[in-house]
Chains A and B, each alone.
Chain A
Amino acid sequence: MQLTLTVNGTARTFDGDPAMPLLWYLRDGLALTGAKFGCGTGVCGACTVHIDGSPARACTTPMKSAAGKTVVTIEGLDAAHPVKQAWQEINVPQCGYCQTGQIMSAAALLASTPKPDDEDIDAALRGNICRCGTYQRIRDAVKKAAGVTA
């Protein structure tokens, strides 16, 4: 079965196992390694991408569900995006492995909730684990990107 999708603005055709998670297609198939493998069960958020503008866990999204959809990965999110800029201004990353997922979740939050409060941030980002414990700076960076004071 052949299916098509758009990844970072490029039309793609996939004819492998329709049950394969989008994550492995992005990583092994397209060499887009910004989405990370952390859990494989959708509980850590390291693989977060945008599908039709909404945050999604690529590790639990089978290719058949991505058919016809528009996928944006960290590589496809504008380098000048306020979230990416705020992340750098506040020096959020430690090891950095989870941060691409954190950024994609944060960018999706701001798209739907331009002025989030602490509860909004908790709700949008509680699915993204950071083992280094950078949460305080993540919170600050989201607010900075949103232009709300901490």
Chain B
Amino acid sequence: MNTVIIPVSRRGFLKGLVSAGAFVLGARVLPLEALAAAQASTAPWEPSVYLALEPDGRVLIIAHRSEMGTGIRTVLPTIVADELDADWDRVEIVQALGDKKYGSQNTDGSCSIRDFYVAMREAGATARLMLERAAAAQWNVPASECRVQLHTVGHQASGRSAEFGALVTAASALPMPAKEELRFKQPSEYRYIGKNVPIIDLEDLCNGRGTFGMDAVVPGMVYATIERPPVLGATLKSHQDAAALKVAGVEQTVVLETTGYPVGMKMLGGVAVIARDTWSAIRGRQALKVEWDLGPHASYDTAAFKKTLIATARQPGRVARSGGDVDAALASATRRHEATYYTPPLSHAPMEPPVAVASVKDGKAEVWAPTQNPQAVQSVVAAALGITETDVICHVTLLGGGFGRKSFPDYCAEAAVLSQKIGKPVKVVWTREDDIRHDFYHGECAMHMQGGLDAQGKPVAWLQRSVFPPIGSIFNVEEQYGGGQLNMGWTDVPFAISNFRAENGPSEAHVRIGWLRAVANVHHAFGVQSFIDELAHLAGRDPIEYWLETLGASRKLDAELKAQGYELRGLSGQPQFVPDTARLRRVVELVRDRSGWATRKTAPGHGWGFAAHRSFFSYIATVVEVRVDDDGTVHIPRVDMAVDCGLIINPDRVIAQFEGAATFGAGVAMVSALSAQGGRIREGNFHNYQVPRIHQAPLRTHVHIVETTEPPAGVGEPGVPPVAPAICNAIFAATGKRVRELPVGKVT
């Protein structure tokens, strides 16, 4: 990552947020190849982070990423504050509006620290150096003798010191230092990095003062709920709103055009009921009568579709990666084994359903929303209104969970279009039923695996086929193949098996497909990590020993993946991010040793399971202990997770993400599933779309962190994929029953 730091005018950037005397710094993240061109050109500069120092001593740091529970709007600013050596108590964090000037704000893909760590450090180090130089000039001493310590510049020899605020004016007039001049703190000097700085919202959240999208209020706003097409692509045939309009508090109904294909991130359309408060809008909608032409996706039935996917998975598909001669090796193997796995569709179900407030007037829109992607809000709202993106102001509230759902701004477009049509600010509230029935779903997946073992039980052939409706289908209705989702735990399987082939079969999509926490890694890890466990048991071997032997010698995988037809590109191909089996081995050994795997007790109904998976450039190994009651109820008393996610800024928030991932993964394994009939999602609320509750979650999750100086990698998502297979492998150890279909529910 290369960054350029240039002082920017306050005008247009931090307007209204900082005082006229403030010293404003910005950093810009540029790809390597663009660096030289940017430096040479006079093109407008588009910074990605901002740091402002006020004459009164306050330091303002802009959080340009969305806060949905990872702690990111605290943790990224601590990096700036640390390099600057600012006093955290005098730092104020300002949530950024959606603006391309910040670079990507799409808080998705577990990349916030990875992509912005260097930029944040450089911003802090630049400001620190300029403050030191400003003080040196005032005191007529060498800058090299001036040092910042906790919001103050000091000169030891003369005993002089000055607070940041007193130096702001002088510092802002200095030329920017070259990057080569910057001095970065040594790890021993870190004040906040590696420490557990509490999230800035902690006290507010515990006292009901956090402002989520659901809490946003704009003067004069009305409330809307929307009856949306019950089947993807359904169109409005007729509607009667007489009864709805009689409900006290209901003001009017508005028809929103239904979406054409491809659905993309657009709003779905439907019939909106506008009322003076939320309850009246909900009641009015219950009184609506709406008829739909359901269209072709009314054929969608998850029971039948599952059979189709499994049948496809049993047929040859497109080859995504191939090494050796799998067919010959399977034919000559001493033992052969095959298994077919299935995972159901899932909904994100963040505790805060989608919601947005919009005010549109004079051709400009202002939106308040819990969004992971404010720039997508700008583009989707602009397209829906027929205005330009820069005429859409997006305020990002706190998010009551996101998990990928809130990077699709369809709900923001609804509020904006309604506001445009009725001339008032509008708040669109999704009910839980709206959320579960109109999600961008994690699609179901069928996987078929075949393995061949030699006389010693070593795997010599491995064939895997995956079939699932792809995310690409929302942007291109013809798309039936997995695309980039195949590189999530499928083409990048790290095992050293000389004959290996990964395939992908085609699938139609009958609902909107989106990305859910860890995306395709979730089902791919379930298939791969279950099948290697099956082979270990077939060979009569300890699952972890067998896993490590199959992993093979420590090596980086780029060359062999390329030779087998999968070339790592972009960030994935950079040396520090290439899959490294030594790092994978280290977490496997760590979780084995810390969990007490070698001395685990075995008893009827009691079992331990293992799985490991690399995703989002992080390496995670998991051991799960289960207890299965006589009636088949599964308890999870203990989970151990060993984590190598590179350099860690805030250990407590990292541990929290992995604790949460253990629970999220337990939900995937045990309880969560959607079904569809007649094209409609049948579940609608938490009584029938289940997510884990306190008594179903792992009782205790131990997170073991590898201390490393590798670059920061993903944290929010990579904990999820190994959990479900580790649970299911533990269930096999406890009961002898192999789980090949999720969710488990009860073991029968």
- Pick the contact of A128 from B211, B402, B694 — CB < 8 Å? B694
Residues of A with Cβ closer than 8 Å to B?
16-17, 20-21, 24, 27-29, 31-41, 43-44, 46, 73-75, 79, 84, 87-88, 91-100, 103, 118, 121-122, 125-139
Besides A34-B208, A96-B205, A131-B350, 20 more A-B contacts (Cβ < 8 Å) are: A20-B279, A28-B278, A33-B214, A38-B351, A75-B207, A75-B208, A93-B206, A94-B69, A96-B201, A97-B212, A97-B350, A98-B351, A98-B400, A99-B206, A130-B663, A131-B401, A133-B659, A133-B663, A133-B692, A135-B663
- Pick the contact of A40 from B350, B400, B431, B657 — CB < 8 Å? B431
A96 to B210, CA, bound (A): 8
Minimal beta-carbon separation of A85 from chain B (angstroms): 9
Minimal beta-carbon separation of B580 from chain A (angstroms): 28
User: Could you list 24 A-B pairs, sorted by A, with CB under 8 Å?
Assistant: A17-B249, A27-B215, A28-B279, A33-B215, A36-B351, A37-B278, A38-B353, A39-B432, A43-B686, A87-B206, A88-B198, A91-B196, A94-B69, A94-B657, A96-B398, A97-B398, A100-B206, A122-B694, A132-B69, A133-B661, A134-B656, A136-B697, A136-B698, A137-B656
Given A34-B209, A46-B351, A99-B206, check contact A133 B215 (CB 8 Å).
no
Q: How large is the interface on B (under 10, 10 to 19, 20 to 34, 35 or more residues)?
A: 35 or more
Given A33-B215, A37-B353, A73-B208, check contact A132 B687 (CB 8 Å).
no
A129 and B664 within 8 A (CB): no
Minimal beta-carbon separation of B664 from chain A (angstroms): 5
Given A133-B661, A137-B656, check contact A33 B208 (CB 8 Å).
yes
A129 and B401 within 8 A (CB): no
Residues of B within 8 A of A138 (CB): 694
Minimal beta-carbon separation of A48 from chain B (angstroms): 11
Minimal beta-carbon separation of B538 from chain A (angstroms): 34
Nearest B residue to A74, CB-CB: B208
A136 and B686 within 8 A (CB): no
B217 and A31 within 8 A (CB): yes
A146 to B589, CA, bound (A): 38
A84 and B207 within 8 A (CB): yes
A99 and B660 within 8 A (CB): no
A37 to B692, CA, bound (A): 19
B663 and A93 within 8 A (CB): no
Residues of B within 8 A of A139 (CB): 694, 699
Nearest 4 A/B pairs, CB to CB? A34-B208, A133-B663, A97-B400, A95-B69
Given A103-B206, A129-B693, A131-B401, check contact A24 B69 (CB 8 Å).
no
Q: Is B338 part of the contact surface with A, judged by Cβ < 8 Å?
A: no
A109 to B693, CA, bound (A): 17
* Total inter-chain residue pairs, C-beta < 8 Å: 182
Minimal beta-carbon separation of A60 from chain B (angstroms): 12
A38 and B660 within 8 A (CB): no
Q: Which of B687-724 contact A (CB under 8 A)?
A: 687, 691-695, 697-701
Q: Is B399 part of the contact surface with A, judged by Cβ < 8 Å?
A: yes
Instruction: Among A27, A31, A38, A139, find the residue whose CB has the most chain B CB atoms closer than 10 A.
Output: A38
Given A46-B351, A73-B208, check contact A94 B656 (CB 8 Å).
yes
Nearest B residue to A31, CB-CB: B217
A94 and B432 within 8 A (CB): no
Q: Is B447 part of the contact surface with A, judged by Cβ < 8 Å?
A: no
Taken residue by residue from 329 to 364, chain B's Cβ proximity to chain A (1 for < 8 Å, 0 otherwise) reads as 000000000000000000001111100000000000
Minimal beta-carbon separation of A72 from chain B (angstroms): 11
A100 to B201, CA, bound (A): 13
Q: Which of B183-234 contact A (CB under 8 A)?
A: 196, 198-199, 201-203, 205-212, 214-215, 217, 223
B694 and A126 within 8 A (CB): yes
Residues of B within 8 A of A134 (CB): 656, 659-660
Q: Is B70 part of the contact surface with A, judged by Cβ < 8 Å?
A: yes
Q: Is B394 part of the contact surface with A, judged by Cβ < 8 Å?
A: no
A130 to B217, CA, bound (A): 25
Q: Is B313 part of the contact surface with A, judged by Cβ < 8 Å?
A: no
A97 and B401 within 8 A (CB): yes
Q: Is B652 part of the contact surface with A, judged by Cβ < 8 Å?
A: yes
Residues of B within 8 A of A103 (CB): 206
A35 and B401 within 8 A (CB): no
Q: Is B403 part of the contact surface with A, judged by Cβ < 8 Å?
A: yes
Instruction: Among B249, B431, B656, find the residue whose CB has the most chain A CB atoms closer than 10 A.
Output: B656
A131 and B279 within 8 A (CB): no
Minimal beta-carbon separation of A11 from chain B (angstroms): 21
Residues of B within 8 A of A40 (CB): 282, 431-432, 685
Nearest A residue to B639, CB-CB: A136
A91 and B199 within 8 A (CB): yes
Instruction: Among A91, A92, A94, A121, find the residue whose CB has the most chain B CB atoms closer than 10 A.
Output: A94
Residues of B within 8 A of A92 (CB): 206
Q: Is B304 part of the contact surface with A, judged by Cβ < 8 Å?
A: no
Given A27-B278, A40-B432, check contact A129 B351 (CB 8 Å).
yes
B208 and A95 within 8 A (CB): no
B68 and A24 within 8 A (CB): no
Nearest B residue to A44, CB-CB: B686
Instruction: Among A37, A91, A128, find the residue whose CB has the most chain B CB atoms closer than 10 A.
Output: A37
Q: Is B429 part of the contact surface with A, judged by Cβ < 8 Å?
A: yes
Nearest A residue to B67, CB-CB: A95
A125 and B205 within 8 A (CB): no
Q: Which of B630-671 contact A (CB under 8 A)?
A: 652, 656-657, 659-664
A88 and B203 within 8 A (CB): yes
Q: Is B248 part of the contact surface with A, judged by Cβ < 8 Å?
A: yes
Residues of B within 8 A of A38 (CB): 351-353, 432
A133 to B687, CA, bound (A): 18
Residues of A within 8 A of B695 (CB): 122, 126
